[in-house]
């Protein structure tokens, strides 16, 4: 009997263990809950899919893993019926994974009851149908979109059965015909709306499309019930269900007005050709989508081509541009694209027979949505006679005016091609290069710009193309290798007709001014003895660091450092030795810190260290230890050697602290005095 009792006691535990093993090893999402809805076990697959660990799941109610809507549905509807009937099948729920993903599942479950009929536990299996649900929603949305498009599209849509009878029309077609779809239901569509002479051909096309399954496109007349006639381009395709053709879907576009416009356009194009010939203005259109380029007849004539003997191309046009002007023309086109502004310039043409022409070109880029260029439309006018009459007088007047306006510093005038038209003799005093060197090599001006400033100078040149007076400061490297600071001001040279003829530049040597500014900055913000930041710069950095630390919720540390018994060094060895000692101590402190930290000398033998970004208070203690350790090796100043120590007070700005700069300094100062009272040569951290 004792042996039998032992077996009865062990058996339930063995069954439970076997059940647990079965649940956990199931290759599906399975979980078991007790009568209170608390999860007692889950399969490994359940945990893998939802991303939880077993300890995060066991002991929690199963409804906690449902969305709010699914949880309400389970508590109010599913669970009461489940515990009554003992089973449920394919209940749709939404489950929340640990990473926030929402999964659609179908849950089926069964109850395990005791001998008294009470529910002991239940076992549930969930099937992940997220992908299927998502596909169903997309399909429903696509169907709704297609149906809405059918009825609201601004094209003509008619659905026919295999015999060509009307099944339905969309609203646009009803409005065109001025009748309801019900009035035409079952009617032979193309017999009803096609002219008699076109009906047989259209019926043959429809039969061939249904037989081959290939879509078709054709244009035909459409006769309305009121006797009106429209021109429509149709695109028809078979309607298929499964593998069976059940009819035809015809989509049409009313091109009546387009065809009328095309006829009017043919007349106006002839008039335009005649007008362009009289005005000596050629036109061109470039389509970026197709890559096609169209020239008018007058455009061919200006470029020296016969329309029947040449094919329009940008290569042919650029080949006709004077070699000295080609770069400017290409740049103007690029800027029109980049800046979304018209291209407007005069330049020369050099034709194969040696003829030189002056032309005025204007082009404007048309952009599609998203800023993508769609096409460019341009005109080219032959202005040779006008330019030849004005050129000599205009250039002499502009040269005189430019030289007269600028007679000091280093001056120069660059033409439209950046050629050097004038440069003052002072260029050699400032740069070391002579006038002739700049005239022979116009790019020399850019090359002498300091490499670190050259990108900014190039950007300035690009900006000048779109602006008027500009000012910039940069460095140059002279012929002797010296660095000089230049204040560079430029303005456009504008002709009487508003065209730009280059730019006039004034360069002033401001090297001495820059040096004075640097010295003033050093005196204002740095200690004259050690070269370390002074109290003013430290206060400025601390004022910036405190708000940043508060926003980022990261601690900040401020250290007051006082050298122990420094007065004795000055008294015994003199101030020169004391100053050398301070310089060495400052250097050692700086070597212990990061580039983002600050060590400042604020007066006498006092130093302050700012640690703006520390991970935790222990970091500040570690830095204080490094600073003390840096002083352990003796400091040698001339013939004397000193053992130096310091007392350090540390104040911390913890998360949530409301201390300002003044409060933090007071705390660090107090902690420093505490370090001195503790025997010197140590640090103390403020406890407040």
Residue 684 bridge partners (DSSP): 649
- Sheet containing 598-603: give its strands across: 598-603, 606-611, 556-563, 646-653, 683-685
Token output for 381: 């006018």
- For residue 340, what are the contacts with CB-CB under 8 A and spacing of at least 6? 365, 367, 371
- Contact assessment for residue 472 and residue 457, using Cβ atoms and an 8 Å cutoff: yes
Q: Where do the DSSP E strands lie in 63-145?
A: 87-96, 102-113, 119-128
- Contact assessment for residue 473 and residue 510, using Cβ atoms and an 8 Å cutoff: yes
- For the chain, the first-to-last Cα distance in angstroms comes to 74
Token output for 574: 């003199």
Of 409, 509, 597, 605, which is the active-site residue? 605
Rounded CA-CA distance 539/568 in Å is 30
Rounded CA-CA distance 425/224 in Å is 85
Q: Please work out, in degrees rounded to the nearest 5, the angle formed at the alpha carbon of residue 193 by the alpha carbons of 192 and 197.
A: 95
Residue with tokens 């009121």: 226
Q: Please work out, in degrees rounded to the nearest 5, the angle formed at the alpha carbon of residue 317 by the alpha carbons of 311 and 322.
A: 150
- Contact assessment for residue 326 and residue 336, using Cβ atoms and an 8 Å cutoff: no
456-492 burial by CB neighbour count: b if 16+ within 10 A, else e?
A: ebeebbeebeeeeebebebbbbeeeeeebbbbbbbbb
- For residue 283, what are the contacts with CB-CB under 8 A and spacing of at least 6? 272, 276, 295, 296, 298, 299, 377, 378, 379, 380
Strands 646-653 and 683-685, how do they pair? parallel
What phi, psi does 457 have (nearest 5°)? Answer: -65, -40
- Contact assessment for residue 565 and residue 573, using Cβ atoms and an 8 Å cutoff: no
Alpha-carbon distances of 518 from 473, 522, 524, 539, 592, rounded to whole Å: 15, 6, 10, 20, 27
- 3-state secondary structure at position 415: coil
Q: Please work out, in degrees rounded to the nearest 5, the angle formed at the alpha carbon of residue 508 by the alpha carbons of 503 and 510.
A: 145
DSSP-assigned states of every residue in 205-254:
HHHHHHHH---EEEEEEEE-TTS-EEEEEEEEEEEEETTEEEEEEEEEEE
Has 324 been annotated as catalytic? no
Residue 133: count other Cβ atoms within 10 Å of its Cβ. 16
- Contact assessment for residue 356 and residue 350, using Cβ atoms and an 8 Å cutoff: yes
Which residues are tagged catalytic? 605
């Amino acid at each position: 009997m004792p042996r039998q009792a032992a077996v009865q006691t062990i058996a339930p535990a063995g069954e439970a263990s076997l059940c647990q093993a079965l649940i956990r090893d199931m290759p599906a999402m399975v979980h078991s809950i007790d009568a209170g809805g608390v999860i007692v076990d889950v399969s490994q697959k359940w945990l893998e899919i939802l991303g939880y660990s077993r300890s995060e799941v066991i002991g929690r109610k199963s409804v906690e893993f449902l969305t709010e809507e699914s949880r309400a549905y389970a508590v109010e509807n599913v669970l009461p019926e489940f515990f009554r009937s003992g089973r449920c099948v394919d209940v749709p729920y939404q489950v929340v994974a640990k990473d926030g993903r929402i999964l659609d599942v179908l849950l089926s479950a069964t109850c395990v009851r005791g001998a008294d009929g009470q529910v002991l536990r239940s076992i549930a299996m969930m099937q992940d149908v997220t992908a299927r649900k998502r596909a169903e929603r997309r399909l429903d949305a696509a169907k709704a979109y297609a149906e809405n498009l059918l009825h609201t599209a601004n094209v003509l849509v008619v659905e026919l059965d295999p015999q060509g009878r009307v099944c339905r029309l969309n609203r646009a077609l009803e409005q065109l015909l001025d009748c309801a779809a019900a009035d035409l239901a079952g009617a032979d569509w193309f017999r009803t709306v096609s002219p008699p002479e076109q009906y047989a051909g259209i019926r043959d096309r429809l039969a061939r499309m249904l037989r081959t399954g290939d879509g078709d496109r054709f244009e035909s007349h459409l006769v309305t019930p009121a006797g009106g006639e429209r021109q429509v381009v149709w695109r028809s395709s078979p309607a298929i269900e499964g593998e069976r053709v059940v009819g035809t879907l015809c989509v049409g576009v009313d091109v009546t007005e387009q065809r009328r416009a095309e006829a009017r356009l043919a007349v106006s194009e002839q008039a335009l050709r005649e007008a362009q010939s009289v005005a000596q203005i050629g036109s061109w259109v470039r389509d970026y989508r197709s890559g096609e380029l169209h020239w008018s007849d007058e455009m061919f004539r200006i470029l020296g081509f016969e329309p029947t003997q040449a094919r329009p191309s940008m290569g042919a046009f650029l080949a006709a541009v004077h070699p000295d002007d080609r770069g400017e023309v290409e740049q103007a086109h690029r800027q029109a694209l980049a800046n979304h502004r018209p291209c407007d310039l005069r330049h020369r043409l050099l034709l194969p027979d040696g003829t030189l022409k002056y032309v005025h070109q204007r082009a404007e880029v048309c952009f599609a949505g998203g800023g993508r260029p769609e096409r460019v439309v341009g005109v080219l006018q032959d202005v040779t006679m006008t330019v030849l009459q004005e050129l000599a007088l205009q250039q002499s007047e502009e040269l005189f005016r430019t030289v007269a306006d600028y007679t000091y510093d280093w001056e120069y005038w660059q033409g439209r091609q950046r050629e050097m038209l004038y440069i003052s003799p002072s260029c050699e005093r400032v740069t070391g290069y002579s006038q002739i060197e700049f005239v022979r090599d116009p790019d020399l001006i850019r090359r002498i710009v300091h490499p670190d400033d050259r990108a900014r100078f190039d950007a300035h040149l690009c900006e000048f193309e779109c602006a008027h007076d500009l000012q910039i400061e940069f460095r140059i490297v002279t012929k002797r290798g010296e660095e000089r600071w230049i204040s560079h001001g430029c303005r456009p040279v504008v002709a009487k007709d508003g065209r730009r003829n280059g730019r006039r530049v004034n360069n002033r040597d401001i090297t001495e001014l820059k040096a004075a500014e640097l010295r003033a900055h050093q005196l204002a913000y740095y200690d004259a003895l050690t070269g370390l930041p002074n109290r003013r710069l430290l206060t400025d950095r601390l004022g910036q660091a405190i708000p940043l630390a508060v926003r980022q919720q990261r601690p900040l540390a401020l250290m007051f450092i006082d050298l122990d018994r420094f007065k004795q060094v000055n008294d015994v060895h003199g101030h020169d030795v004391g100053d050398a000692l301070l310089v060495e101590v400052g250097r050692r402190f700086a070597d212990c810190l990061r580039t983002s930290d600050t060590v400042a000398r604020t007066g006498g033998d006092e130093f302050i260290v700012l640690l703006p970004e520390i991970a935790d208070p222990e970091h500040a203690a570690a830095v204080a230890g490094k600073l003390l350790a840096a002083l352990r090796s003796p400091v040698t100043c001339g013939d004397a050697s000193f053992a130096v120590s310091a007392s350090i007070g540390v104040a911390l700005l913890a998360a949530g602290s409301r201390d300002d700069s003044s409060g933090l300094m007071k705390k660090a100062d107090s902690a420093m005095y505490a370090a001195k009272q503790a025997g010197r040569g140590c640090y103390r951290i403020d406890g407040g």
